[in-house]
Structure 1
């Protein structure tokens, strides 16, 4: 039986630094736009609510993620669209976590993922706690996972997620402009080695320390670019043909050929 096609909306946001209310208003507009374009799922960047305003997390982080969850659930239910909520700054038991929430098109929470690898160059390790759980969920009937930004530099982590059955890998990010080429190359490599569609959604704009150049991108399981945005705020949809996963994995069965006894 043929697998479905999925239409994915990439929401490449310019994030207002440390202004959650402004960013939530923008998320509402993007979800409405994605639904109007008949997207099955809309995907947002990393820390879309606060940006990297880490020193003010005690003031602006979302307590238990309640506000973000209520907003995303309501929008998913209202517009009958899956939402991969990028990530938000969540406070829990006196600690802060960089957290992704995924909702289905009925507003039900499918997955909660806390960023596993903290990026010292942007001081995450000084303010955030690392997660230690995998993310697995389905979009329509398609098994999927997500990681966050710096996680893509750890292929062993994405291999573990993919070996558990994922066929879509979502990567919300705040990836600075000076490393844009690495962003694209790492995402392409993760798509090829895991024979999966990879959807990388980066932000644009500036914070006090960084410029972000977007280049949100969708790769097919062979590492070909299906869609890539530039360096300005935009929402774009792309439809992917999931039959390609069966074809690619059947031709080169890398998961069956693995040697977990050695590694």
Structure 2
């Protein structure tokens, strides 16, 4: 699986500018990748107080946009996440598209980050984070979700080989970003493909440092802080090999984990 992680700066509150940027970067990245990955809330950034006016109604505009790009280039696109407006609220929603332009999966962020006031403007989701890329099982989560290993483990025990993470992770907690991603890879014996944004908004500076991590916890590729496209490869057969060497999943004892 050849990967391209599009770590770009996001224009605060300007979806049209961000569509133009992403189209240019996808056109560039697709030549060297099978799967392209975008960051969290890439259409709007964290302009939360204006989401009622700038979020995408049912995600339809973004779905058409990403579908066209995926079909044109015949690539899989893990299209980060967007602010999707529905009758029940605005969700932070991950979109995944296949090479025929088909929508494969939607996942609404399950854990809202109070330090950035997400719970005031967004509605938490309760959908599964699991999907498939071809015949390969994967899961995809959004930013703060990686602090909940029990949530991620409930997905990874079903033979998922890749965990996609899309984020707007602040620079102030870069050490946490790296440590949590490495931990999720090691404990789940899977690839972690994590795309963060670059740049800043009026209230935050973001960390960049998108990463591709292997199932032994080895860093295959890591970006710096600046906007870039990070390329790397996941050899998915290695997941089964690592899981056979240290059979963590076979040795689980879930009957004793619910301690009261």
Q: TM-score range by the shorter chain?
A: over 0.9
Which of 31, 34, 39 is equivalent to 1:36? 31
Q: State yes or no: 1:58 paired with 2:20.
A: no
CA apart distance, 1:242: 1.3
**For residues 185-215 of structure 1, what are the alpha-carbon distances to aligned partners after superposition, in whole Å with 9 as ceiling and x for unaligned?**
0000000000000011100111111001200
Corresponding residue for residue 234 of structure 2:
240
Corresponding residue for residue 201 of structure 1:
195
The answer to which of 153-162 and 251-260 deviates more is 251-260
Corresponding residue for residue 154 of structure 1:
148
Corresponding residue for residue 9 of structure 2:
14
Corresponding residue for residue 121 of structure 1:
115
In structure 2, how many angstroms separate the alpha carbons of the residues matched to 1:229 and 1:142? 25
**For residues 134-188 of structure 1, what are the alpha-carbon distances to aligned partners after superposition, in whole Å with 9 as ceiling and x for unaligned?**
1222223211010000000000000001012211000000000010010000000
Corresponding residue for residue 73 of structure 2:
79
- Local SS of the residue matching 2:194: strand
CA apart distance, 1:94: 4.6
In structure 1, how many angstroms separate the alpha carbons of the residues matched to 2:234 and 2:157? 21
In structure 1, how many angstroms separate the alpha carbons of the residues matched to 2:87 and 2:136? 34
- Local SS of the residue matching 1:206: coil
The answer to which of 214-223 and 27-36 deviates more is 27-36
In structure 2, how many angstroms separate the alpha carbons of the residues matched to 1:234 and 1:141? 29
In structure 1, how many angstroms separate the alpha carbons of the residues matched to 2:11 and 2:34? 26
In structure 2, how many angstroms separate the alpha carbons of the residues matched to 1:193 and 1:129? 29
Corresponding residue for residue 3 of structure 1:
none
Q: State yes or no: 1:104 paired with 2:98.
A: yes
TM-score, reference length from structure 1: 0.96
For 1:126-205, what aligned pairs fall within 5 Å after superposition?
A: 126-205=120-199
In structure 1, how many angstroms separate the alpha carbons of the residues matched to 2:210 and 2:93? 20
In structure 2, how many angstroms separate the alpha carbons of the residues matched to 1:27 and 1:161? 29
Question: What are the ranges of 5 or more consecutive residues in structure 1 without an aligned counterpart?
Answer: 1-5
- Local SS of the residue matching 2:209: coil
Corresponding residue for residue 70 of structure 1:
64
Which of 209, 214, 223 is equivalent to 1:215? 209
In structure 2, how many angstroms separate the alpha carbons of the residues matched to 1:219 and 1:231? 17
Deviant stretches of 4+, over 4 Å: none
CA contact (8 A) 2:210 2:230 kept: no
In structure 1, how many angstroms separate the alpha carbons of the residues matched to 2:149 and 2:30? 33
CA apart distance, 1:237: 1.4
Q: Aligned pairs, how many?
A: 257
Question: What are the ranges of 5 or more consecutive residues in structure 2 without an aligned counterpart?
Answer: none
